Each structure stands twice: as C-alpha cells, then as structure tokens.
Amino acid sequence: MQDSAINLLRGLVERYSPSGKEDEVGYFLSSRMEELGFLVKRDIVGNVIGEHGDGSPRVLLCGHMDTVPPELPVRLEDGILYGRGTVDAKGPLAALVMAASGLVNDGHSGTLIVVGAVDEEGMSTGVKNLVNDGLEADYAIFGEPTNVETITVGYKGGLVLKIDCETETGHSSAPWLFKNAIEKAMGIWHQVKSLQLPEEDSESRFHSVSYCLRRIKGGGIGSVVPSSCQILVEARIPPAISVDRLSAELLALIDAYRVDNPDVNVYVEILGHTEPYLSDKKSPLVRAISRSIWRNRKAKVGLINKTGTGDMNIYGRATGTPTITYGPGDPHLDHTSYEHIGVQDYLDSITVLKGALTDLLLLSGQN
C-alpha cells in the first residue's frame, strides 16, 4: 500500500493542473481510482467521482485537483516530496483516495463517495455542481492541509468587491484643479478597511472581518491626472456575520462616500461570496477522527478555526451535512514557491483517515 500511495501522490503532483486545466490530472485520477475498485464517472464540469458500496451511511470524501500557478519542479528527496499541489491539495486528496481504497479492500458497510473536484482555487465550480446535482451524504470530509494531528472545524466566509472610480481628468502639472481617481479609490479603501461591526471581536483573527486590497489598476502614460482607478477588495467574514449583512454595510458606506464626493463616479460589483461555516465539534465525525488521531499518533488533537475559506463552506451550509476539513501538510506552505510535504505525514494521515472511516461506518451501521 505504501508504494501505491506514494505513486498516486507523485502522479498527481507531476500533472500540473491550475484551475481550469484539470483534464490530464482528472484522467489520471479516474484511471487510478478504477484500478483501486471504485465505480468512476466524470460530471459535466469535470469532477472525478468514485463510489463504492451501497446504503447508509453515505460518506463524502472530497479533495480538489486544481492548484494555483506557477508550476514547480517535482522531486522526492530525503522523505520529502516537493512540487506544486503537494500540500494544497493533492496530498490531502491522495490521502482520502488511499484511505477509502483500504476499506474497499477490507470490506465495509455504507457508501463511500470520493471526489476529485475542479476549480476550488477559482470559483468553486466543482463543489457547486455537486450541490446542484443533489449529491447527498451523511458525513463529509474535505481534504485540505491541516497537519496530521489537527482538524479544521471552522472557516471564515468571503466577499470580493470590484470598485471603480472615475473623475474628470486634466494636466498633471496642476493636480489641485482635478480629482485624482487613484487617490479617491484609496480613500474608499481606507474607509472600508476601517469598518468594524458590533458583532466582531477585534481581538480575534477568526471572529473579526479582515480586508485585503488584492489589486489596483489606474492611471496611464503621459502628464495626465488619473481619471479612472479600479480596486479589488476581498473581505473574510466571521461566523457571526452573514454575507448579506457585511455587503449591506459596505454598500451603505460607499453610498455615503458618493454623497460626500459628488464629482466622483463610483461603481461597485460583487464578484463572489461564500458564507462562513462552523462544524459541530461534538459530531460523530469529529469524534471519529479525533479518536483515530489519538490511537495512531498518541497526540492531543487540535480543533481549529481557519481564517481562509474552502469548499467545506459551500457544501456544509447548502446540505446541512456534518462537515470537517482534514489532511496532511503544513497549511503555511499553501501557494508558496517551496511547497512540500513529508511522505511519512502523508502516510500517517491515510492511517488516521482509514481508522476514522472504519469507526464511523461501524458506529452508524450499529445505530
């Protein structure tokens, strides 16, 4: 099993698959999952979906096949696999596949559904299609790097705004005569990032809203006062605040800015949003993984909330299914130029997941 697990992970990592270009890695994963005993299909958006067994409980194991760019050299050295996606999130995806395949070989009750999803790093097209297709499960585990001894039970939500500012232009030798669109956009940005709602806990990174200025586009060539500027603002939203609540506050803030600056045209578009999600820490799913971590690592289990956003948010909220995120790898290596994963941690996570699934299926079958 060890060689098979390492070969699967390396095969996934060697097939570079930025969002929107998951076909090659999808065909590879489909073939390997068929060899491991799953009944495999591809849905309309390109998700790889493998099933084994029948009846209840139905357990969804979902990881994503896409990565961020750029491609990185792949090498295995001193027990460490380097390459794009080793951590985020082909390592966790491979661990889910191999853990489930262990139960296929040993026999199990219930239904295992293993998904290699597309576009998690983009617009989450993959998981949204699972929801639209009505994929039902009693429990769901999403594969993302948490480290072997930690379970993610909460993610912030997200909101992305595109804000355009337009002004009358003129010669840059007399900037006092004209409104600079870049400066005006920065004025909006400073008001946005200073916004604080009563529901926030300013002392907590997780329970407060965080803002990131992701892009600025403005100005041009020549001696001209900039007449247009576009900024992209991303907010991460804590569980106490809904997307609608924060959106309303931000739009009201911008409306007030328009009133105070009648000579500035401001246009706002919401490009994407995801609600926050918190899992029940006392659910059978959390208990099963916690017990398996303790059995196999003899370590205190960490239940953590993360300031990021994942596919867990979308599926868990849409379906009401008890949902957590778990997988090998250091999340601080996500999207870095030195992304890598320890092979032993990857193998240990497979053991943890297989033990947790065994407990979960047996417990549910007895109930």
- Asked if 269 and 328 touch (Cβ cutoff 8 Å), the reply is no
CATH number for 291: 3.40.630.10
The 10 Å Cβ neighbour count of residue 212 is: 12
Q: Write the pLDDT tens digit of every residue in 111-156.
A: 999 999 999 999 999 999 999 999 999 999 999 999 999 999 999 9
The confidence score (pLDDT) of residue 147 equals: 96
Q: Evaluate if residue 319 carries a pLDDT over 70.
A: yes
- Let me know whether 137 and 281 are in one domain: yes
- Let me know whether 48 and 136 are in one domain: yes
- Asked if 218 and 228 touch (Cβ cutoff 8 Å), the reply is yes
- Let me know whether 243 and 287 are in one domain: no
- Let me know whether 150 and 28 are in one domain: yes
* Catalytic sites, residue numbers: 66, 120
- Let me know whether 168 and 213 are in one domain: yes
- Let me know whether 359 and 210 are in one domain: no
Q: Evaluate if residue 363 carries a pLDDT over 80.
A: no
Structure tokens at 122: 């983009």
Question: By percentage, how much of the chain surpasses pLDDT 70?
Answer: 99
- How many Cα atoms are found within 13 Å in the side-chain-facing hemisphere of 191? 18
**pTM of model > 0.75:** yes
The confidence score (pLDDT) of residue 228 equals: 97
**Residue 109 pLDDT class (50, 70, 90 cuts):** confident
> Average pLDDT of 279-291?
96
> Average pLDDT of 203-225?
95
- Let me know whether 318 and 199 are in one domain: no
> Average pLDDT of 201-213?
97
The confidence score (pLDDT) of residue 365 equals: 53
- Let me know whether 102 and 216 are in one domain: no
* 364 or 212, higher pLDDT: 212
DSSP state for residue 335 in the 8-state scheme = T
Q: Write the pLDDT tens digit of every residue in 287-309.
A: 999 999 999 999 989 999 999 99
Measured in whole angstroms, how far is the alpha carbon of residue 6 from the centre of its chain? 24
Structure tokens at 308: 């990021």
Burial category of 43 from C-beta neighbours within 10 Å (exposed 0-12, middle 13-18, buried 19 and up): middle
Q: Write the pLDDT tens digit of every residue in 230-272.
A: 999 999 999 999 999 999 999 999 999 999 999 999 999 999 9
- Let me know whether 33 and 118 are in one domain: yes
Domain count of the chain? 2
The confidence score (pLDDT) of residue 106 equals: 82
Strand segments, DSSP code E, in 184-264 are 210-218, 228-237
Q: Which of 258, 274, 290 lies at the terminal end of a domain, its last residue?
A: 274
- Let me know whether 59 and 129 are in one domain: yes
Reduce the secondary structure of 133-174 to three states and give it as a string.
Answer: CCCCCCEEEEECCCCCCEEEEEECEEEEEEEEEECCCCECCC
Closest alpha carbon to 243 in 253, 234, 256, 255: 234
- Let me know whether 102 and 185 are in one domain: no
- For 316, the 3-state DSSP assignment is helix
- Let me know whether 270 and 281 are in one domain: no
- For 284, the 3-state DSSP assignment is helix
Write the DSSP assignment of 276-319 as a string of letters: -EE--TTSHHHHHHHHHHHHHH--PPEEEEESS--HHHHHHHHH
CATH number for 265: 3.30.70.360
Q: Which of 232, 250, 274 lies at the terminal end of a domain, its last residue?
A: 274
Based on DSSP, count helices (H) and strands (E) in the chain, helices before strands. 9, 16
Its domain, for residue 29, covers 2-155+277-366
Q: Write the pLDDT tens digit of every residue in 29-68.
A: 999 999 999 999 999 999 999 999 999 999 999 999 999 9
Q: Which stretch of 19-23, 70-74, 238-242, 360-364 has the lowest confidence by average pLDDT?
A: 360-364
The confidence score (pLDDT) of residue 364 equals: 62
The confidence score (pLDDT) of residue 303 equals: 97
Phi and psi at 272, nearest 5°, equal -175, 155
Q: Which of 274, 297, 318 lies at the terminal end of a domain, its last residue?
A: 274
